[in-house]
Chains A and B, each alone.
Chain A
């Protein structure tokens, strides 16, 4: 059956259609072609023709022209529109014309870089030219590094490696820096918030070194669909950038089905679980031979669904290779095998976390099932974009779970279909981040009096500050590094600790093998002792978790249940740095807090029925993070106006508003800050609203929030009073299901009162 036939069958199935709240058809889009631009080296044209490419899509031709004319560009294209051609073609063309030309490719993850390099290899091989492309990352063997540094025309790496492995050792990369002509940064929509602010500063350092070596590289950036690609590209690079978004790739018709699981308890309004419904829908696709990807929000759900789907198609030997799971934590070789299987059509169904949302090449699939709303419009579109053939039709199912947010989306499909995706924001001039990179830059090359650091404000003040701190020595008009350390090593570009746990299968005592890895933060949830750990649909029981050695030992089992752990997050006060607490005024403070995550117990849940089979205890150390926070303590006489539930709903509403407002004004991504409300806070002993940096040690976001606290509250009030919803929606206080019937009104009353007390 093909997608259109399946769509017809479903539409005639009243039982299915009863749960479909909206069936949207997105029309097919014709391809728009353009001739090969005259700027392109003629030797490439037969190479492309060998690959069956006789003309370019409009956006590709546009990009090639602009790049070869020497302009900095950002290319915005949906998945599978031939994006990599936009930069590979002009760069290969430039290298063919001048073999000294060098290019640097940056991808956000190692997995992505290896993927893109393969495609590049193909083109180079077909061209027969002696163009060397190398990947330089943590996996590059020591012996090969020298060759990469000397001979690589195209060096493929990631921001972390550039930051700590290349820039501080730039003298070993003389060839690259002297001849660097192009800097390609793919997937720039991932560089939001703190990660993006870090990258922007890494680029300032890179360009500064290029200046030293006398090269003036051009930027080529690529982004998935976001609201502000040009602005993001310009903030990242500090340069005006030309926007190319005239996508000429064709797209078949797309069905978008909003599915809400049926109500099973009318009195309590309880719906069937999304997982069971997804199991049926994905199973139906599998049985009809429609290649599909299913996205789930957690690793656990991925594994449970993978198992369900595998069970449907097992051969007599119990193998079900047509169904695969995919998530972070699988070994790279396993992941590549799955990606290849998808491209070659050997895998019919894959269940994935958002790990496959990024541009990893798995080809285009027929169908996509979203098990729950991924949280933002941008990532929902990216996941949905995995389905979409150039010619044939495709279908996307959004299956809502019972959370208030999902229920809102499924009740208001236009909210998702009509709104533009989120802005990606960052702030390269965040003083914490800037100062750290400024140190790295000073280490890499002494600053001279009057030097700039990209477009960073007042670099002379930073130089003076570091001189006063005895880190730099100002002599002879230059600032020399004067410390016995390596500043790049103590600065990580990402929030999550890099340290990973190895997952070791000890089923065969003579042959222990590592089957995967997991980051430290997730380990207590999924790898505590006695947990059922699922990997590619297989079950293992965790026998021993060695926290110090970062190893988890697991043994294969076959039991009828899985486990789900409860994570408790608690906050405690370490130190108050600043406080305003006047009678009648709005009480607020800035300080250090400890955020502790502790897993104390887990549930055993039976497959199929999802009933609870009992509990187990987990004995693990707390995972602590010290960070900075700011908070408002709500006044007693305000709180006494509400009953407990009202107050709780109102505070939740304000917290939701702050979650929307804070990233906009702190210029960070929503993951960078946490907003919490506590009706009886251990920090103040009173009802309290808290904003803290989601980074160990803090990165200055709470400070900024503290200094603009009144503005944040004003903006919250502006949004909630301006919102056209009647009793709450995800764009203001949150959906009714979450904040109750009077949540919106209470939130407004709380905000008005806070603002009334707050001084200007």
Chain B
């Protein structure tokens, strides 16, 4: 099955740089999009033990004619070995595997099947982009769950209709084995082909978003991407994204993380400016005060200013807020301790 290239509008974004931002793992260099192998399996169960078999393996690949999906089906158990060898040949022709949840499910399962059929599984150790954890980082805050069908609807804007639930695949296969009616597998194959095609759509969409975060329209996604980049140690990229988070419920958290990131990179002055701006906008509650108190005490050694910030934070904390009382108490104790300590240091200096 071949889908023409125009069905994948963001294909040009599929380059090495955004991939490196997504996942802290070595990517093939140079990256040849035609040597990315998209893979999805249909199995006889979700157990993941040695008795679970992949009866169908869908493999997608960019070709000169478009995106080609090849589906390998075993018509009975003795064909498994042959099917796996075909898949192995495909993998050997690739530089990168892309899956949705493949790191926990499909690849370990294939490794098991290879071993059970005494085929060397080392080819499965290729660099691997698993879209599920990446999508989860970016969209979880907005979508709360990240099944592929939900991502198709909410992120890619292509809702699926009449799809066979994946959980029914084993039953279809067992019925096919008993009856020999291949038509029973039609829905399974359609489902699998769509899954594979969606992977390419999602991967190129993610690449486009990573390459140009300015285009992201949801503040949740922006904030999540900032956090994801930070987690993968792309500090300056993460700051770029945090700065894009518009005024709203996530703005103050973004500003705090931005400032913290500056601080970690030694850009203390940037951080101080962000805290001061936050205070002037009455944003972020006591947090910027606490951060500034630390700054004055440890960087400028300006104890009176540090004390002043602590005092203001304590005042602010006394006002009614939505914070949970236990956290308020904890913060107050910490502030009080800081306050007392600073005062002691000041008096000692006075003597």
Contact = CB atoms under 8 A, between A and B. Distances in A.
Asked if A and B bind, the verdict is: yes
A476 B77 contact: yes
Interface in B77-128: 77-78, 108, 111-112, 115-116
Contact of B50 (A445, A482, A483): A445
A476 B78 contact: yes
Given A478-B77, A482-B44, 10 more contacts: A168-B51, A171-B116, A473-B76, A473-B177, A480-B53, A482-B177, A483-B174, A484-B170, A485-B45, A485-B47
Nearest to B44: A484
Given A171-B111, A172-B108, A482 B47 contact: no
A475 B76 contact: yes
A140 B111 CA distance: 23
A473 B77 contact: yes
Nearest to A169: B49
A481 interface: yes
Given A174-B115, A475-B78, A484-B171, A168 B50 contact: yes
A121 interface: no
A202 to B, nearest CB: 15
By CB atoms of chain B within 10 A, which of A174, A442, A481, A489 has the most?
Answer: A481
10 contacts: A168-B47, A172-B108, A172-B112, A475-B76, A476-B78, A478-B78, A481-B44, A481-B53, A482-B174, A482-B177
A354 to B, nearest CB: 35
A470 B111 CA distance: 27
A107 interface: no
By CB atoms of chain B within 10 A, which of A169, A442, A445 has the most?
Answer: A169
Contacts of B45: 483-486
A171 B50 contact: yes
Given A171-B112, A171-B116, A172-B108, A486 B77 contact: no
A61 interface: no
A443 interface: yes
A434 B69 CA distance: 45
Contacts, number: 64
Task: State the 9 A-B residue pairs at the shortest beta-carbon distance, nearest first.
Answer: A443-B51, A168-B49, A486-B47, A476-B78, A481-B51, A484-B170, A171-B112, A480-B77, A484-B45
Nearest to A442: B51
Contacts of B115: 171, 174
Nearest to A489: B47
B74 to A, nearest CB: 11
A487 B178 CA distance: 21
Interface in A436-480: 442-446, 470, 473, 475-476, 478, 480
Interface of B: 44-45, 47-51, 53, 76-78, 108, 111-112, 115-116, 170-171, 174, 177-178
A475 B44 contact: no
B116 A445 contact: yes
Interface residue SS majority, chain B: helix
A170 interface: yes
A424 interface: no
Nearest to B167: A484
Contacts of B171: 484
B119 to A, nearest CB: 12
Contacts of A180: none
Nearest to A440: B51
A488 interface: yes
A481 B51 CA distance: 6
B78 A444 contact: no
B49 A486 contact: yes
A444 B170 CA distance: 18
B289 to A, nearest CB: 28
A444 B77 contact: no
Contacts of A489: 47
Interface in A571-588: none
A665 to B, nearest CB: 36
B50 A444 contact: yes
Contacts of B53: 480-481
A170 B111 CA distance: 11
A478 B108 CA distance: 24
A473 B180 CA distance: 14
Interface in A172-222: 172, 174
B10 to A, nearest CB: 35
A293 to B, nearest CB: 43
Contacts of A482: 44, 174, 177
B35 to A, nearest CB: 28
Nearest to A477: B78
By CB atoms of chain B within 10 A, which of A171, A443, A489 has the most?
Answer: A171
Nearest to B109: A171
A618 B247 CA distance: 60
Contacts of B170: 484
Contacts of A470: 174, 178
A486 B177 CA distance: 20
A488 B49 contact: yes
A481 B174 CA distance: 11
Nearest to B79: A476
A172 to B, nearest CB: 7
Contacts of B49: 168-169, 443-444, 486, 488
A445 B178 CA distance: 21
Contacts of A475: 76-78
A169 B108 CA distance: 10
A441 to B, nearest CB: 10
A480 B115 CA distance: 16
Interface in A417-448: 442-446
A445 B174 CA distance: 19
A170 B47 CA distance: 13
Interface in A106-142: none
Contacts of A478: 77-78
A405 B108 CA distance: 58
Contacts of A473: 76-77, 177
By CB atoms of chain B within 10 A, which of A445, A483, A484, A486 has the most?
Answer: A484
A485 B45 CA distance: 7
Nearest to B170: A484
Contacts of A476: 76-78
Contacts of B108: 172
A489 B47 CA distance: 10
A508 B268 CA distance: 44
By CB atoms of chain B within 10 A, which of A486, A488, A489 has the most?
Answer: A486
B177 to A, nearest CB: 6
By CB atoms of chain B within 10 A, which of A168, A482, A483 has the most?
Answer: A482
A425 to B, nearest CB: 32
Nearest to B45: A484
Nearest to A482: B174
A470 B175 CA distance: 11
Contacts of A444: 49-51
A264 B29 CA distance: 93
Contacts of A172: 108, 112
A172 B53 CA distance: 15
A170 B50 CA distance: 7
Contacts of A446: 77
B70 to A, nearest CB: 24
A449 to B, nearest CB: 13
Contacts of A168: 47, 49-51
A105 to B, nearest CB: 23
A444 B49 CA distance: 8
A488 B48 CA distance: 12
B174 A484 contact: yes
Nearest to B171: A484
Contacts of A170: 50
A171 B47 CA distance: 14
Interface in A701-740: none
A96 to B, nearest CB: 29
Interface string A142-185: 00000000000000000000000000111110100000000000
Contacts of B76: 473, 475-476
Nearest to A213: B115
A482 B47 CA distance: 13
A174 B116 CA distance: 11
